[in-house]
Amino acid sequence: MSEYQYPKASIQHRLGGKAVDAAMYTVTFGFGWLIWSLVVWGQGQTPGKQIVKMRVYNKTTLQPVKWGQMALREFVLPFSLYVITLIFLTFFRAANPDANPSYVFLIYLPLFVVWLVDACYIFAGDNKNRLVDIIAKTDVLNVAP
């Protein structure tokens, strides 16, 4: 397998891109970030990745990912986790109808744990990949000149 034209993005670079995404999401109440995301996903980027000059590449083709794979990576995988959690809580509530309604924190606890494991997985090994990168078969590269 040949190498990429660009180096893999460093952990600090990736965290910077995530911070830019989070700040933009907060400032635009999610709407501006989502519209911008839908446009730049076709280039293998999020708004934060575009600003800090990173791009997501397909490990198989060694080319920037297209809109569909980016949507899978950024939306479908996290959303499917959320749906699985809601299904679990629905069955939990049906099995325990007299349970204290404060179980709502269970909606957020598994999501936070998986998000934390995904975020911390980047520190494991030399690959600098999150779990979502492994599942979607992608790499994030630093495309700054």
Sign, CA torsion 58/24/131/83:
negative
Residues 30, 27: Cα–Cα separation, whole Å:
8
The token pair that represents 144 in the structure block:
């700054």
Do residues 65 and 141 lie in contact, with contact meaning Cβ atoms separated by under 8 Å? no
- Over residues 125-129, the mean pLDDT reads 80
The residue type of 29 is: F
Please indicate, yes or no, if residue 3 is contained in any of the structural domains: no
pLDDT (tens digit per residue) in 106-122: 666 777 777 788 878 88
Please indicate, yes or no, if residue 2 is contained in any of the structural domains: no
Element (H, E) at 54: strand 54-58
Q: Is the pLDDT of residue 1 over 50?
A: no
Total domains, the chain: 1
Residue 90 pLDDT grade (very low, low, confident, very high; cuts 50, 70, 90): confident
Please indicate, yes or no, if residue 43 is contained in any of the structural domains: yes
Please indicate, yes or no, if residue 4 is contained in any of the structural domains: no
Domain region containing 137: 11-142
* pLDDT at res. 104: 64
